[in-house]
Amino acid sequence: MPKSKPGKVFLVGAGPGDPGLLTLKGARAIAAADVLVYDYLAAAPIVALAPPDCEKIYVGKKAGAHTLAQEDITQLLVRLAREGKRIVRLKGGDPFVFGRGGEEADELAAAGIPFEIVPGITSAIAAPAYAGIPLTHREHNTAFTIATGHEDPTKPESTLDYARLADPHQTLVFLMAMGNLAEIVGKLRERGLPGDRPVAIVREGTKPTQETLVGTLDTIVAQAQRTGIGAPAIVVIGDVVRLRERIRWFDVSPLFGKRVLITRPVHQAAEFAARLWEIGAEPIVAPTIAIGPPDDPSPAQRALEDVRLYDWIVFTSQNGVDAFFRELARISRDTRALGEASVAAIGPKTAQALRRHGVRPEFVPERFISEDVADGLLERTSPSDRILLFRAQEARDVLPERLRGRQRHVDVVAAYKTTLVHDDDFEEKVGRADIVTFTSASTVRGFVAALGAGLRAAVNGKTIACIGPVTADAAREAGLNVDLVAEEFTVEGLLETLERSPA
């Protein structure tokens, strides 16, 4: 019997923490993985890129707490590859910068296992950048050196050349140095590096939990002990540290360090979460609803078969657009089925979704609420015009009632329905949040149902932010104290409101 072909191992650098810093090649590798073997420093949104049927194996290593020994991790990779699987070994930072990726690649090569290296952004560069510290600046240094602060414990003595490291014309970056900080500082001082040399410790670099402590060689050890700052952190030594106060950018955002609960459906949360990461907030994805087919899909099916009979087709959400074109594809039709019908969209995101399908809406109201849509449609239609309203099963009847009251013929079709989501960790997620966001009345209802009698206690002291007045009214009716309502009824408008008035 022929020997089965071995799989392949991808040694992928996850970057320093911000999921937006993952490379495109790394994301493609993860999306195609059969098995994901990942480290402690790999951000949850990056791990979530793996396919639903991907086997996920955590082998994280923190100081003093190793899930698996390094030798066991390598043996695991070899065994999985020999089973013919496609494995992504996801490592924090860059696998070849003090990530032991070289050791793993060497062992894979010795075992005859095909592998590929996908570099990542090392924290040695990214963490200082997010702290506003450039590693090079022509007025301050001519080189920089990256060194480990935690050498192989089996070595008889350190092989770091502190005489060379104590060069005042370079920037020093130490990784994994917090356990040996006093020793490192002492040896640099012994080799002549002046005590007033600026030092920065950047903990959890590129994350919303990032902390930066600035001092000098003479003061930094005492400062670290007093503040309790610890791993994972990098240490930067050099004149470039002085530039931080002028060019710091990440940790000055109004939302920096805030934890924001996202209650919208999981498939719509990614963009919102990414924007929160960009401005230094920590997104907590906790969907309270999911989108599914309506209880009775036949009215939508009949409407699409007769879609040419309508003068206007109105979409109230991206979900409606997606459902419409899924059904069109099911019956083997495309946008030509719309004929001469005009199209309206509530909101720019709904309009954007239509454009992706090659449909340019004739009407997008300035305010994205049913009352304004009704007024705009009444201006653009005549009595007896036929209007197809493609919307959620649970939507309000304000829009069709106002149109029918002015002699428009309106067919309301349930394109999709929202269902409640059960999450065993939901209360814990709410408890961690500083800000709770709602993007629809349905997310409010799901939130209330999930917390039940514990609702008031769960939201005590938290900022409640809503995407618009309809959502805000639903929240108030549920007994929630609404603090912020976006002036523009979009996720981007909600973010802008949060930035202007952070919790």
Report the DSSP beta bridge partners of residue 202.
Answer: 212, 234
**Tens of each residue's pLDDT in the chain, 503 residues:** 444 677 999 999 999 999 999 999 999 999 999 999 998 777 888 998 999 999 999 987 655 555 678 889 999 999 999 999 999 999 999 999 998 899 999 999 999 999 999 999 999 999 999 999 999 999 999 899 999 988 766 666 777 899 999 999 999 999 999 999 999 999 999 999 999 999 999 999 999 999 999 999 999 999 999 999 998 999 999 999 999 999 999 999 999 999 999 999 988 888 899 899 988 999 999 999 998 889 898 888 888 888 888 999 999 888 899 999 988 888 888 888 888 899 998 878 889 899 999 999 999 887 767 777 888 999 999 998 899 998 888 777 788 888 888 888 999 988 888 899 989 999 999 999 999 999 988 999 999 999 999 999 999 999 999 998 889 999 999 999 999 999 888 888 899 999 987 66
Is the pTM here over 0.85, yes or no? no
Same domain, 203 and 350: no
Tokens of 215: 């001092």
Number of domains in the chain: 4
Same domain, 314 and 395: yes
Same domain, 129 and 248: yes
Same domain, 23 and 111: yes
Same domain, 361 and 266: no
Domain boundary among 371, 396, 417: 417
- 260: Cβ–Cβ under 8 A, 6 or more apart, which residues? 276, 281, 282, 283, 284, 433, 434, 435, 437, 498
Told to judge if 85 belongs to the known catalytic residues of this protein, a careful annotator would answer no
Q: What pLDDT score was predicted for residue 24?
A: 97
Q: What pLDDT score was predicted for residue 67?
A: 67
**Residue at 495: amino acid letter:** L
Told to judge if 178 belongs to the known catalytic residues of this protein, a careful annotator would answer no
Same domain, 407 and 368: yes
DSSP 202: E
Same domain, 403 and 370: yes
Report the DSSP beta bridge partners of residue 259.
Answer: 282
* Active-site hit among 25, 61, 187, 429: 61
**Residue at 316: amino acid letter:** T
Does residue 99 fall inside a structural domain? yes
* Active-site hit among 18, 91, 176, 207: 176
Q: How many residues does the chain have?
A: 503
Same domain, 336 and 404: yes
Alpha helices (H) along 56-139: 70-82, 101-110, 123-130
The CATH number of the domain holding residue 89 is: 3.40.1010.10
- 439: Cβ–Cβ under 8 A, 6 or more apart, which residues? 263, 264, 268, 272, 467, 471, 491, 494
Told to judge if 295 belongs to the known catalytic residues of this protein, a careful annotator would answer no
Does residue 1 fall inside a structural domain? no
- 154 Cα distance to chain centroid: 39
Same domain, 324 and 369: yes
Q: Which domain holds residue 137?
A: 125-252
Tell me the CA distances in angstroms from 326 to 208, 300, 351, one per residue in order: 38, 11, 17
Domain boundary among 359, 390, 417: 417
Q: How far apart are CA 441 and CA 395, in angstroms?
A: 9
Same domain, 210 and 264: no
Does residue 3 fall inside a structural domain? no
Same domain, 173 and 226: yes
Q: What are phi and psi of 191, to 5 degrees?
A: -90, 10
The CATH number of the domain holding residue 162 is: 3.30.950.10
DSSP 20: G
The CATH number of the domain holding residue 467 is: 3.40.50.10090
- 172 Cα distance to chain centroid: 31
